[in-house]
């Protein structure tokens, strides 16, 4: 992989989304909020013409409480706003750029919600294994 083949930074609803190469072979897609906090990411390993989605995550967490205001529980939640879909879209675009034929992964977590999420994005699902044939998408869009 070469840096010249990486998707350029893009903006989406106030988030900056970028792709970073990592070694030995793969890339990560990060989404950064206006405070430069990582709001979500996807980690993808690449071997020949196949890519494996190792992890996709969108931030939802409690922040530390203020000592002077113990009843206030600040929370950052970027889920259910389309950010995970945008990160996955950038993964798919980057796979196209790299000439990858297949993107696969495994569902870990809320199986029902994740099955709907991946089906909505064109993945076939067999048990917990997800697969997207990128050749079938080349004619679309």
Model confidence pLDDT, tens digit, residues 41-99: 999 999 988 999 998 999 987 666 666 676 666 778 888 899 999 999 999 999 998 89
**H/E segment holding residue 115:** helix 111-120
pLDDT in the model for residue 3:
43
pLDDT in the model for residue 64:
67
Stretch 6-17: mean pLDDT, rounded? 74
The domain that contains 111 carries what CATH number? 3.40.630.30
What's the mean per-residue pLDDT of the chain?
85
Helices and strands (H and E) in the chain: how many: 3, 10
Q: Which residues form the domain of 67?
A: 3-137
Q: Give the chain's domain count.
A: 1
d(CA 84, CA 36) in angstroms, rounded, equals 17
Report the percentage of the chain scoring pLDDT > 90.
Answer: 56
């Amino acid at each position: 992989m070469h840096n010249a083949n990486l998707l350029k930074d893009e903006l989406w609803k106030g988030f900056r989304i970028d792709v970073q190469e990592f070694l030995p072979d793969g890339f990560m897609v990060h989404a950064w909020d206006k405070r430069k906090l990582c709001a979500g990411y996807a980690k993808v390993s690449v071997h020949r013409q196949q890519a494996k989605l190792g992890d996709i995550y969108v931030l939802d967490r409690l922040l530390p409480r203020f000592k002077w205001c113990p009843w206030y529980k600040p929370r950052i939640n970027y889920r259910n706003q389309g950010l995970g879909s945008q990160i996955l879209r950038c993964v798919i675009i980057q796979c196209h750029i790299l000439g990858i034929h297949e993107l696969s992964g495994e569902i870990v977590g809320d199986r029902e919600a994740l099955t709907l999420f991946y089906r909505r994005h064109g993945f076939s699902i067999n048990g917990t294994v997800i697969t997207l044939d990128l050749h079938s998408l080349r004619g679309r869009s």
